[in-house]
Amino acid sequence: MSTHSPKRQVLRSDIISKVDKVYNTLKDDILNVRIAPNYPLKIGWLQEHYSFGTTPIREALSRLEKDYLVVLFPNKGYYTASTSLNEFLEVYSSRNLIKLRLIKESIQFGDEKWEAQIVANHYLFSKEATSLNDDYDSWLRAHDAFTEALLSAHKSPWLFRFHVQLTEHVRRQGRALFKMRPEGVSHEFSFAALRSSSLRSLYTIDIYTEIKNAALNRDIERITCLIEKCTELFTFEYNEIQKSYQHLI
């Protein structure tokens, strides 16, 4: 028999729902760099800025710390996690190692429905990638839907959770890198893609068409080469872009 009164259970449920709201709101703002890296998350500022109560804010910050999105410094309080080119490239390459493992599992276990999802989402992705609209968010949604189809036959739910978390960090690190460019340099991803042959190859549909064909042909060796190629292109070009910025500072 429960020792908690219905009223107390309702109050606890209300607190949990508020914590979820605070957590989701802050997480979205941190991931999209509406709150800058290394920014002090003072309770008073959060209350004033978001109109949330102290208790759900503290619980939400504790959860965000476990997500490695905020850091608690003794005698200083919570800060948003730092970003850097080195961290960006590390999480990207780590994410791709997990992605490759999940794709290999999907190739092993995928059926005709899995193949159909890949073909359908590649078609939608190709429409977006060849569109004249310069909308990176739309490109990203189409890219993620295609990736999700590729991975959908995996048998490793824990590994997939790590993939999701690392992808969130990749996106945050990338957004922070672009927003922190030297003055006078465009902050648009498409600007960098147009300047860089390596990034341009990752921004167009061609390499993803190769990945689609390799997956449908169950060609694990080819898939491995393509994912490794993506990592190498990405790492090389972001290092080059960062070097070029040093001359502008």
Looking at 36, 57, 80, which one is the last position of a domain?
80
The pLDDT of residue 138: 87
pTM of the model as a whole: 0.83
In the block, residue with structure tokens 């910050």: 61
Whether residue 101 is found in the same domain as residue 217: yes
Is residue 15 scored above 60 in pLDDT?
no
pLDDT of residue 115: 98
- Any residues with CB less than 8 A from the CB of 49 and at least 6 apart, and which? none
Domain hosting 178: range is 85-246
Q: If pLDDT is split at 50, 70 and 90, which confidence band does 4 have?
A: low
3-state secondary structure of 64: helix
d(CA 190, CA 212): 24
- Examine the fold and report which residue of 80, 106, 137 is the final residue of a domain before the chain moves on: 80
Residue 172, CB half-sphere, CA atoms under 13 Å: how many?
A: 28
Query: What CATH number does the domain containing 89 carry?
Result: 1.20.120
With a pLDDT cut of 70, the percent of the chain lying above it is 80
Kindly state whether residue 215 falls inside one of the protein's structural domains.
Answer: yes
Q: Where are the alpha helices (DSSP H) in 32-111?
A: 43-50, 54-66, 85-109
Number of domains comprising the chain? 2
- pLDDT tens for each residue of 222-247: 999 999 999 998 888 777 776 665 55
Res 133: pLDDT? 67
Residue 212 CB-density burial (10 A; 0-12 exposed, 13-18 middle, 19+ buried): buried
- Are 196 and 91 within one domain? yes
Q: What is the pLDDT of residues 165-190, one digit of tens each?
A: 999 999 999 889 877 655 554 545 44
Report which residue type is found at 66: K
Domain boundary among 19, 48, 80: 80
Split at pLDDT 50, 70, 90, the class of 248 is very low
